[in-house]
Amino acid sequence: MENRVYNFNPGPATLPLSVLQTIQEELLNYKGEGLSILEMSHRSKTFDKIVDDAMDAVKKVMGFGDDYTVLFLQGGATAQFAAVPLNLALPGKPALYVNTGSWSKKAIAEAKKLSIEPTVIASSEDQNFNYIPTSFEIDPNASYLHITSNNTIFGTQWQEYPKTGDVPLVADMSSDLYCRRFDPNQFALIYAGAQKNAGPAGVTIVIVRNDLLERSHDDIPTILNYKIFAEKKSLYNTPNCFGIYVVGLVMQWILDQGGIDKVEAVNRKKAELLYQTLDSTDFYRPTARPDSRSIMNVTFRLPNEDLEKQFVAEAAKNGMVGLKGHRSVGGIRASIYNAMPLEGVEALVQFMKEFERKNG
């Protein structure tokens, strides 16, 4: 579409063009209702169907069964850093965490504020989070094990998820949910801010195994209580109606692409092309260890910071935006989420080669 740039922002991120066009078509008059989703009552039958369809699609894409419940919440993944220990931590049973970067550290810090002392069983902080630790022991008596499946800032991603036995596995999948196939039954709870692969900013997806809902007790603040929101079908209070609607559209877009396996194949092709380019030269230096590289957030450095600033500026002039690395680490970051077309990565690779030719 004319004048649209390739959006490599880490989040809010690029959305499928066809989804944006559907939103545009339905914005003023949703399916003949005479009003917009933005104006519609969340207690209406029409919105009831929107929620039901979105919940069903969230489960269908990845194959979650009837033993899982989908919640649409607010407060982003940040709210879930507190909600997880509040709902799942049991007296006398440790809450386990693997520390793989900034978001893991924030989750650990929130648990501490709640006087739920987390046990960090592994960390990659010794190498500035450039890898995913794979050697650790899981206490079989633990309340849960929490991991961050993908690290947007450091460009690392779990290649295989830990086998936890009877210990519930909890994952913050904000930046890679729906980027690839995995066994849903391996997880007790998944949460994700939707603004990467699943929808717009402002709505948070929680997929929780039903037996875990019994852990939610009455003393938990209502707005963070999984059981109450499950009973009320995410409608305890006014939800992010528009965000839920868009999540439903994005899930249908994934299905229309041929499903999660087709989407994963394209994602891996994009990542392979970009990493091959990085590995073929000394001018660009990937920051993540090869065995831990993310297929969603590709992070790298140039010979110096001045060249990095020049790279970002010139890329923007060439229609490629959002490539500046996180302020805490610097460098370059290309976020290549589901809706980033292969042509966008091909354009970036061509720009990278030309930039190196001129400045290498």
Residues known to be catalytic:
103, 172, 196
Here the tokens at position 317 are 């002039």
Contacts of 95 (CB under 8 A, 6+ apart): 85, 88, 89, 111, 116, 117, 118, 119, 142, 143, 144, 146
Contacts of 301 (CB under 8 A, 6+ apart): 284, 285, 287, 308, 330, 331, 332
Helices of type H across the chain: 17-26, 45-62, 76-88, 102-113, 226-231, 241-256, 260-279, 305-317, 342-359
One DSSP character per residue, 104-116 reads HHHHHHHHHHTT-
Judge residue 114's burial from the number of C-beta atoms within 10 Å of its C-beta, 0-12 exposed, 13-18 middle, 19 or more buried: middle
Here the tokens at position 165 are 């036995």
Q: What region does 323 belong to: left with phi over 0, alpha with psi -120 to 50, or beta?
A: alpha
Task: Report the distance separating Cα 170 and Cα 154, nearest Å.
Answer: 21
Contacts of 316 (CB under 8 A, 6+ apart): 5, 323
